[in-house]
Amino acid sequence: MRIKNNGHSAQVEIDASVAPRVTGGGLKGEYIFAQFHFHWGSDSSLGSEHTIDGVRYPMELHMVHYKGSYGTLGEAVKRRDGLAVLGVMIEVSSNDNPALAPLATALLNITDAENFADVSFKHPLKAFLPRNVERFYRYEGSLTTPTCNEVVTWTVFDEAIAISERQLNNFRALKDPHGGMIVNNFRPPQPLNNRKVYVSADSSADSSTVKRVGLSLSIVTSMAVLMMNM
């Protein structure tokens, strides 16, 4: 793995002879892993770009994939169904998250913008996902950074993973190109503009107690289990 302070987030890429793929779960086609990155707040009362039941988490992880049939990430961002992003909420725990530990430690060496560090990590990408990947929300939306292309099939997991305040503070110590601290690097929830947010059939939500994602009631639908091929 390689983690980079790109001036507005901590972004992670991997070197692999065959990049991980994600299929199933209602996705139309196979999507190839490109990178994952984080959004966080200046304190633990905010940071995530999605809310669930009105709850905002202190951090959110985004795993970005592009549709394999389009060949490249650059070509995929031009297509309406070009990207599939997995959104993982991260909540504060009293203990360090072992999966995040190598990345959080490496951040101490890349506080200045445009620096990067190699990270030895022998676990699969599933280590950064919640245990239950069958409960998730789905909608068609956009990238959350400029130019905000509306090309993303979003999958937001219902279950969060953990991080300690100590690990979070390593992210908050990163600097932008002007020497300021990288905090509150999230886009606030946006109006859905008649989009529908779906709930996986395996979610605990039902038609009388559907959860709220962002600003809209979710709609229960039949959906296959998301199959993580990582």
> Strand pairing partners for 154?
85, 139
For CA atoms 74, 75, 80, 84, the dihedral sign is negative
At 40, list the tokens: 């966080």
The answer to whether 110 and 5 are in contact (CB under 8 A) is yes
Kindly name the residue from 8, 39, 62, 178 that is annotated as catalytic. Answer: 8
123 is catalytic: no
Cα(57)–Cα(44) distance, integer angstroms: 7
Residue 54 CB burial class (10 angstroms; 0-12, 13-18, ≥19): exposed
The SS3 assignment for 126 reads: helix
Cα(134)–Cα(199) distance, integer angstroms: 10
Q: Give the active site residues.
A: 8
